[in-house]
Amino acid sequence: MKKGIVFFGPPGSGKGTQSILLSDRLNIPLVAMGQLLRTEVVQNTSLGKKIEDSLKRGEYLSTSDVMEVLKIQLDKFPDAWVILDGVPRSIEQAEAVEQYAFSGFLCIEAVVFLQISPEKVWDRIRNRLSCVHCQKDYCHKVDLCSNCGSKEFSKRSDDKEEVVLRRLNVFNEKIRSIFDFYNEQKKVYLIQADRDVEEVYSDIIACILPLMKK
């Protein structure tokens, strides 16, 4: 059975940055749902065409669409630890992922909840750019994408102010039910995310390593 570490938090909280750090430094596969879905849109796949408008409006996708992409990605990895960024994002998705545990496919072991002030969210998102070719995000100016080597960057379509506000509202509507769902299982680790990247990572690794050593 695969063991999952979920990164959860509002837009701009650093989920992508921290999940990539953890993945690279501990050599754990990463499923970055937002990046995967944006790639579907860029590649103009059947799913990409279906979800493009919803992504641009900052809306959550249907559970069935998200679980379809998740299952395809998880099937690529062996039964070991895996990091999930951007899924689950609703109680319906959390319950769907929970079904994987019953089938012996995936069990969520930890939920890293990144807390951050709305002011810091806006500050980060205003400066965020995405690689045109692989959709990797950067919260600061870079000349070369470290993932694919591209020099082309653009603002994400869902980083427009009105879309970000909508995404924050949707997140705040859904946050309590998901938090309670995993907190009742004693799997939530609260991390203050409006600090230096390495400081945040240090707190995360202090929570995760003991779990991995069990």
pLDDT single digits (tens) 58-71:
676 788 888 888 88
Residue 13 has pLDDT above 80, yes or no: yes
How remote is the C-alpha of 156 from its chain's centroid?
A: 15
H/E stretch holding 73 = helix 63-74
Q: What is the pTM of this model?
A: 0.78
Secondary structure tally for the chain: helices H, strands E: 8, 8
Confidence at residue 159, expressed as pLDDT on a 0 to 100 scale: 65
